[in-house]
Structure 1
Amino acid sequence: MSFVVLTANHHDSDISDVEGLAQRGALVKQEILEREGVSGAVVLSTCNRYEVYLEADETAARDVAELLGIDHSISVFSGLDAARHLYEVASGLDSMVVGEREIVGQVRQALASARKEGTTSPLLEQTIQGALRTSREVAVKTDFSRTGRSIVAVALDMAGAVACERDQYEWEETGGPTVPATDWAGIKVLLVGTGAYAGAAVAALRERRADNVRVWSQSGRAKQFAADHGIDYSPSLDLDWPDVIVLCRGTGSPVLTADMVRDAKRTRGPLTLVDLARSKDVESEVKQIEDVTLIDLETVRKHVPAAASGDVENAQNIIAEGLARLDSDLLGRTMDPLVVAVRNAFAAELEKELRQLPASGDIPAEHAIRALQRFAAAVAYHPTVSAQKAAKEGRGEEFHRAAELVFGIDLPEPTEQALTCPRKDQPHA
């Protein structure tokens, strides 16, 4: 069995392809778990990546990749390469916005879901937990987390540039918006959706001093969400009021169609739409409407700012150290079957003695002492016989070194032979 990663992400796939793979993965999830050769599976599905972490043999991993659909750009990693990929994902190095911290919570949630469903395994637990610990170390020792880098933050900065300085704003192929906007005071924002990204959007808007934010949702949870986050509740999807609409529903069908936006444009001025949903909350045709700016995940991917090379190098060094610890820990776990066998043997000897004691009532001290003495003698019997055999075969020093290693104590050296006569296997002089 090996640690295997199957991944489709923003590096090699369109967001729509990732969404299609995620939908396919949800349909065949039970089939994946029932595959012979698969001992555990954890699924990570975010706005720009779909990944399956497996404990599986090589054949089973290949079968799962085919089951998900080879027409999608699925990359397969195993062993150390798979672990390195996961560590880089959890630490934000493989993200669309390098260094973003939202991903670590998504990895943690993926593991929690697998535990709840009973699909994780010891190898997956140890590897993913190691990645999460290393991610925390990266956050502490680099400036990634202190710069507020995230998909939400980048998308809002692009939207703010449009809303604040529309006459100066223009797209750049590599560098993002020409005008950064960190102060949203006076910009009217309508938030559509109440999921995890909605909470992140509220936090990012608050950092940018947005003071006029409303939330609407078809789910009926908007009123409570507004109360919990200190923003206003909108009873309807009002397209006339906001300057910026941030959408993060991701339910599989657009909430804003081109016709809806065209109708709204008859009675209002410019509008900026931020679509953070992988499955698109806004129809793509909206981009063609005059004075409407649509910023979706593909837009963010094209205009994301580069991370500082020093931070990336520091993070990679921390990840290398984390992988070395994982490798050492996994090597130690290769002895688990031996340890379990020894414990079971000791437990069996102890059970023999317990059966000889009264099932209830007081146990006389002398009976308990004799039972413990018999148990100790039984546990020491086989090592004693093996020690004597090793000495007879001329391997006394070898056994001595092994015994000290096994028992973890300093043991006296074997004594010199008491007799000078040769062993039976030695010729007479």
Structure 2
Amino acid sequence: MNFSICGINFKTSQLPLREKVSFSPGQLATALKIINHEVPNAEAMLLSTCNRTELYLATENIVENHDQMVELLGKTAGVPLNKDDSEHFYFKTGIKAAKHLISVAASLDSMVVGETEILGQVKQAYAAASKAQPGCKFIHRLMNQINRTAKRIHTETDISRGRVSVSSIAVEFARKIFDHLENKTAMIVGAGETSELTMKSLVSKGIKNVIVCNRSPEKGKTLAEHYGGEAIDYDQLDEHLPIVDIVVSSTSAPHCVIKAESIRRAITLRHERPMLLIDIAVPRDIEEEADSLEDVYLYDIDDLQKVATENLKRRKKSVDDAWGIIEEELPAIADAMNS
């Protein structure tokens, strides 16, 4: 089968464009249905994280090109993409596409090299593809090899030793803004995996007062109780902002959940005490106008890239070792693609 990938990530574009073609986990089934309608008899897998959106496509006869796949992604997301937008998308075919997928699954193409969350996200994308397309034999064979190679990289190299994640980098921002975290209050908006990892990092660095705000009260309560925090509903978010020093938001909402006006009111009541806002979501959760407010420090996912670049420099040898393992596994991957 012909295998190709078209995508956009933090290296090729800024956050506003990535937001246009992002998909929440709950949107994947519908997105795959649209893709299968547009390209009949194809096997598709869609990966969408805070740092990338990538469409993987296996077809019998049709070899999709760059422009066609960009158009397909735009149609799937329900947004028009112009020629300038298209230039930010990359396109690979055959073994190069498979090699790219391995680099993604093994975190070699991540903002934070060595993080392990991306492998779980790739597996979730595969699970969604398998559920939507029960007969996707090509993707099944390929993913078996991808998982095997990623596992080798994480076990045979030091790439994950002393690793950091997007969530731990977010906590480092907090330590730069505040001299001491012990007497600060943090609010986590969204109770997903990234939020929980951020919660864990905050507590490990001394935060004792934690509030969890989540659309699902039950899930928010479970996370809050685990770390000795308080759970609140979304409609209580604004009234709690004045007592919060740190807000970490990572929801899958398609729109902003924290308005600049809400932050302005909170800052007024805080009497010039600084507030740190860390927006890990794509699309963004916090209105960017909040960044212009006095005593407000707003960072989004692109701002975390600067810290991640230093992380990559420290892991150069492990990265080289990982690429060596990929080269060793390429013949088996090619066999899986051609069988």
Q: Say whether the fold is shared (TM-score over 0.5).
A: yes
Kept in 2, the 8 Å contact 1:248–1:277? The answer is yes
Partner of 1:195: 192
- What TM-score, normalized by structure 1, do the two folds share? 0.68
Letter in 2 for 1:15: L
What is the correspondence of 1:240-319 to structure 2 with a 5 Å cutoff?
Answer: 240-268=242-270, 269-304=273-308, 305-307=310-312, 308-319=315-326
Partner of 1:144: 159
Shift of 1:288: 0.9
Q: Structure 1 residues 272, 79: closer, same or farther in 2, change over 3 A?
A: same
Q: 2 CA distance for matches of 1:187 and 1:142?
A: 38
Q: 1 CA distance for matches of 2:39 and 2:48?
A: 24
Q: Structure 1 residues 112, 160: closer, same or farther in 2, change over 3 A?
A: same
Q: 1 CA distance for matches of 2:290 and 2:8?
A: 27
**Identical residues among aligned pairs (%):** 30
Q: 2 CA distance for matches of 1:22 and 1:60?
A: 24
Q: Structure 1 residues 51, 309: closer, same or farther in 2, change over 3 A?
A: same
Q: 2 CA distance for matches of 1:228 and 1:153?
A: 19
Shift of 1:80: 0.8
Q: 2 CA distance for matches of 1:323 and 1:16?
A: 35
What is the correspondence of 1:343-362 to structure 2 with a 5 Å cutoff?
Answer: none
Q: Structure 1 residues 38, 227: closer, same or farther in 2, change over 3 A?
A: same
Partner of 1:54: 57
Q: Structure 1 residues 330, 50: closer, same or farther in 2, change over 3 A?
A: closer
Q: 2 CA distance for matches of 1:120 and 1:44?
A: 19
Do structure 1's residue 67 and structure 2's residue 72 form an aligned pair?
Answer: yes
Superposition CA RMSD, Å: 2.4
Q: Which has the higher contact order (CA 8 A, sep 6+)?
A: 2
Do structure 1's residue 210 and structure 2's residue 201 form an aligned pair?
Answer: no
Q: What secondary structure sits across from 1:282 in the alignment?
A: coil
- What TM-score, normalized by structure 2, do the two folds share? 0.84
What is the correspondence of 1:413-424 to structure 2 with a 5 Å cutoff?
Answer: none
Q: 2 CA distance for matches of 1:210 and 1:13?
A: 34
Partner of 2:222: 224
Q: Structure 1 residues 57, 149: closer, same or farther in 2, change over 3 A?
A: farther
Partner of 1:323: 330
Q: 1 CA distance for matches of 2:34 and 2:136?
A: 17
Q: 2 CA distance for matches of 1:120 and 1:208?
A: 47
**Which of 9, 34, 43 matches 1:31?**
34
Q: 1 CA distance for matches of 2:311 and 2:110?
A: 11
Q: What secondary structure sits across from 1:164 in the alignment?
A: coil
Give a deviation string over 1:182-235, Cα, whole Å, max 9, x none.
Answer: xx4333211111122212222322443433222112433322332345433245
Q: 2 CA distance for matches of 1:117 and 1:193?
A: 26
Letter in 1 for 2:252: G
Kept in 1, the 8 Å contact 2:32–2:129? The answer is no
**How many residue pairs were aligned?**
314
Shift of 1:120: 5.9
Structure 1 segments, 4+ long, off by >6 Å, are: 24-27
Q: Can you give the 5+ residue segments of structure 1 that lack an aligned partner in the other structure? A: 166-183, 334-429
Q: 2 CA distance for matches of 1:56 and 1:194?
A: 37
Partner of 1:131: 146
Q: 2 CA distance for matches of 1:281 and 1:147?
A: 29
Letter in 2 for 1:190: M
Partner of 1:378: none
Letter in 2 for 1:224: T
